[in-house]
Amino acid sequence: MTQIKKSLPYIIAVVGAFIAAGIFIAAIQYNPFEAYKTLITTSFRTPNGFIQTLMKWVPLTLTALAFTVPLSSGKYNIGAEGQFLAGAIGATTVGILLADLPPALLIPLVIIAGIITGALWGLISAWLLYQFNINEILSTVLLNFISFQLVDYVATGPWRDPSAGAPTTIAIGQNGYLPMLIKNPPLSIGVILMILVAIGIYFYTNKTTSGYELVATGANPRAAKVHGIDTRKMFLLSMVIGAAAAGLAGAMEVSGVQHRLIEGIHSNFATLGLIIGLISRGKNQAVPFVAFFIAVLEVGASAMQRTMMIPSQVVLIVEALIVIFILLSDLIKRRQK
């Protein structure tokens, strides 16, 4: 019963956001009920819809964790975009250069390359913070913009696929494709990997000594430091772990979905990841569930734009409103004490 009581403010927040957004949708001359019906049910109407939802769920969970893990130590990683792309570049590079290796070798190499390059991209910001005390919000965002240029360079360079319209590389070696759980509609084992990662991160933050230090650092860095915890190391570690998660998402998008590096492959994953992280209020264990919900909304949003001509940005507004309402409900809880 208390579990329901605890979740009540959040449920009210979500409903409130939907109502507010519904008013907005009506104001721009569309039918909110039709819109919501499409938004929420598309994922469950067809097997294709459900598989699409699962495939979106994977990168969304990982980019959200990329935000929440550093947040546990008190740092704001806004660079999941760049770290995702760095991971995608790393995976593509290995996938193209070593295309002749057998799958048993190539697949792990591709994935690990993505994790490492994503982690390295995050390490730049983490190191700037560690060494020069540079605010990580700024450095991660600036690195995002740099990564866009890098992707453009790779996608229009020697590996360019001339037959494609937008800047895209040639495909990575077939041996590098992630194995599929289901062939049609396509669902890769990325889902299983992601779930393992989420569980691993949960175990790390809640059960290990290092995880304790991470949480303590985020709760009060000064007190943590004075009691022996190397807080600067914790900031760095948390950012690298988050960046690695984003890099993994990028690698899986290349290896399991697109099989090549496309400009714009990062889609809106990072932005949504941030939103999911905020809605989860930084709790790693809530992230997969919230991410699934957002994945449902996103799949519904594309359908909504296709069939009803409602711009898909509307769903972004719904999601932003949910964040705001949840933060407000936090406030109300605080006042009640």
Partner 1 sequence: MEQTTILQMHEVNKTFDKVKALDNVEFELKSNEILGLLGGNGAGKTTLMNVLYGLYKMDSGSIILNGKPITIPSPKDAIAHGIGMVHQHFLQINNYTVLDNIILGTSVSRPWTADRKKEKAAIEELCKRFGLEIDLDAYIETLPLGVRQKVEILKALYRGVNILILDEPTTNLIPQEVDALFETLKIMVKEGLSIVFITHKLREVLHICDRISVLREGKNVVSLTRKDATDEMLVRAMVGEGMDLQKSVIFSESSKRVVTTKKETVLQLENVSLVNADKINVLSDISFEIGAGEILGVAGVAGNGQRDLAEVVMGIQTATSGTIKFLNEDITHSSTKENISRGFVYIPEDRLADGFLHKASVAYNLILGYHNLPPYSNKGIVNWKNVNAASREMIKKFTIKTTGPDDAGGNLSGGNIQRVMIARAFSQSSKLMVAHNPTRGLDIPSMDFVYKNIFEHAETGMATLLLSEDLDELLLISNRIAVMYRGKIVGILPREKFDKYAIGRMMSGYDQESK
Partner 2 sequence: MTGIETFLVEFLKLTFLSMVPFVLAGQGTMLGGRTGVFNVAQEGIMLTGASVGFLVGYTSGSVFVGAIAAMLVGGLFGLILAYFTTTLKMDQFVVGLALFFVGTGLSTLLPKLVLGITLTPPLIPTLKNIPVPLLSKIPVLGPILFNQNVLVYISVLLSILLWYLLFKTNLGLRLRSVGENPKAADSLGISVNRYRYLTTIIGGMLIGLAGAYLPMVYTGTFTELMTKGRGWIVIALTFFGGWSPLIILLGSIFFAGIEVLSYRMQVGGSVVPFQFLNMLPYIGTIIIMIFTFGKSRVPAFLGQNYDRERRTL
Residues found near partner 2 in the complex (CB under 8 A): 28, 76, 78, 128, 132-135, 137-139, 141-146, 149-150, 152-153, 271, 274-275, 278, 311, 313-314, 316-317, 320, 323-324, 327-328, 331
CA dist 225 and 194 (Å) reads: 33
Give the x-and-dash track for 151-190 against partner 1 (CB under 8 A): ----------------------------------------
6 binds partner 1 (CB under 8 A): no
331 binds partner 1 (CB under 8 A): no
Nearer to partner 2, 76 or 212 (CB): 76
* Phi, psi dihedrals of residue 168, rounded to the nearest 5°: -150, 150
131 binds partner 1 (CB under 8 A): no
Minimum CB–partner distance for residue 17 and partner 1 (Å): 25
Instruction: Please check whether residue 304 is in contact with residue 38, taking contact to mean a CB–CB distance below 8 angstroms.
Output: yes
Long-range contacts of 53-56 (CB under 8 A, 24+ apart): 53/292, 53/295, 53/296, 53/299, 54/187, 54/191, 54/295, 55/186, 55/187, 55/188, 55/190, 55/191, 55/257, 56/295, 56/298, 56/299
Instruction: Please check whether residue 128 is in contact with residue 139, taking contact to mean a CB–CB distance below 8 angstroms.
Output: yes
50 binds partner 1 (CB under 8 A): no
- Which residues have CB under 8 Å from 323's CB, separation 6+? 275, 278, 279
Nearer to partner 1, 162 or 228 (CB): 228
* Token pair for 254: 């290349």
Nearer to partner 2, 192 or 331 (CB): 331
Residues touching partner 1: how many (CB under 8 A)? 22
CA 58 to chain centre: 8
Instruction: Please check whether residue 187 is in contact with residue 48, taking contact to mean a CB–CB distance below 8 angstroms.
Output: no
Helix (H) or strand (E) run with residue 309 in it: none
Minimum CB–partner distance for residue 221 and partner 1 (Å): 10
Give the SS3 label for residue 297.
helix
Minimum CB–partner distance for residue 73 and partner 1 (Å): 12
Minimum CB–partner distance for residue 159 and partner 1 (Å): 42
5 binds partner 1 (CB under 8 A): no
201 binds partner 1 (CB under 8 A): no
CA dist 335 and 315 (Å) reads: 30
Which residues in 224-263 contact partner 1 (CB under 8 A)? 224-230
- List residues bridging with 160 in a β-sheet: 169
286 binds partner 1 (CB under 8 A): no
CA dist 172 and 258 (Å) reads: 10
State the binding partner of 224 from partner 1, partner 2, none, CB within 5 to 8 A by kind: partner 1
Minimum CB–partner distance for residue 326 and partner 2 (Å): 10
7 binds partner 1 (CB under 8 A): no
Binding site for partner 1 (CB under 8 A): 207-213, 215-216, 218-220, 222-230, 337
